[in-house]
Structure 1
Amino acid sequence: MKETVLVYREIKTDGGDYSQTLELRDQVLRKPWGQSIKDDDLSGEPLDFIYGAFDGGRLVGMAILQDRGEAYSRLRYMAVDPAYQGRGIGTAICREFETRSRESGKAGIRLMARIKAVDFYQRLGYRKEGKPYCPGHIAIEHVDMILTFHG
């Protein structure tokens, strides 16, 4: 397969690419467990920074960075198309979020990781906080993780 150059950019909720974030999140994070992204409360997303990787016009990776006025930003909804996993997309998105969070004076980034993603985040410097749990209506084990900026 020919290696393509991916384009990374912000996605606005009132733009045409936002629907692709819903499709990708549904495909990667919800459908495999019999759930639907339509059941999630997405009402706060216009306030968030949504960042995606595009191959041509197709969204192949994305995540959301929340800033709700707390000391730490929150990373949510990391989703990468399975055909594109292992190409550094998740790492590039995390690095962009780290830069933005540092520039806005945050102490670091918090997230809830599925157990299978813990190693990925640990390689990026995140550490586990607490024990695994199943959040709310989701029957998939997660663990809280944190990246604290120093200096």
Structure 2
Amino acid sequence: MITITHPQTQAEWDAYYDLRYRILREPLGKERGTERNEGDETAVHFALSENGKLLAVARLDRVDDTVCQARFVAVESTTQGKGYGKQIMTALENEAVQLGYGKLILHARDYALPFYEKLGYTLVGPSYKLFDVLQHFEMFKVLTH
């Protein structure tokens, strides 16, 4: 059974940050701790599990009263392509709508562009290079209430 929750316990937080690190930072040769930032304190966090095993995470940040941002979206490498990313993004988008946001932005890694385009995101253009190595692209989606 698939569940999407918000981490609560220390064990849930540890697993959440571990997945973020292993998928988003370790492949770039970065040390533990780089998977966290100050926005973690105020963001809404999502954790997708199947039969108790954490498989995907994502974070929703407030930009302003009408715009929010998806960050740190990660799916366990052995389960990519099975729909977990789509499910966690749907949960994140639904929560954004409930919170009253009208637009969701994100900065996708180059290899993730097709995934987000399939979910209805529009490419704006190049945004920044993470650690001066990995090109990211700004994308957005207008949320319907």
TM more than 0.5: yes
Q: Select 1:147's aligned residue among 119, 141, 145.
A: 141
CA 102–85 in structure 1, closer or farther in 2 if over 3 Å, else same: same
Find the counterpart in structure 2 of residue 50 from structure 1.
Answer: 45
Q: Whose strand proportion is higher, 1 or 2?
A: 2
Q: Select 1:98's aligned residue among 90, 93, 107.
A: 93
Does structure 1 residue 7 correspond to structure 2 residue 3?
A: yes
Check conservation: 1:71, 1:106, Cα contact below 8 A: yes
CA 57–85 in structure 1, closer or farther in 2 if over 3 Å, else same: same
- What is the alpha-carbon distance in structure 2 between the residues aligned to residue 29 and residue 138 of structure 1? 15
Find the counterpart in structure 2 of residue 23 from structure 1.
Answer: 18
- The list of structure 1 runs, each at least 4 consecutive aligned residues, that deviate by more than 4 angstroms after superposition, is none
Instruction: Give unmatched runs, 5+ long, in structure 2.
Output: none
* Identity within the alignment, %: 23
Deviation of 1:87 (Å): 1.4
Find the counterpart in structure 2 of residue 121 from structure 1.
Answer: 116
Size of the alignment, in residue pairs? 145
Deviation of 1:39 (Å): 2.8
Larger mean Cα displacement after TM superposition, 94-103 or 14-23: 14-23
Find the counterpart in structure 2 of residue 36 from structure 1.
Answer: 31
Deviation of 1:55 (Å): 2.8
- What is the alpha-carbon distance in structure 2 between the residues aligned to residue 57 and residue 127 of structure 1? 34
Check conservation: 1:98, 1:108, Cα contact below 8 A: no
**DSSP-derived class of the 1:17 partner:** helix
- What is the alpha-carbon distance in structure 2 between the residues aligned to residue 87 and residue 67 of structure 1? 28
CA offsets per residue over residues 54-80 of structure 1, 9 Å max, x none? 133331111001124442111000110
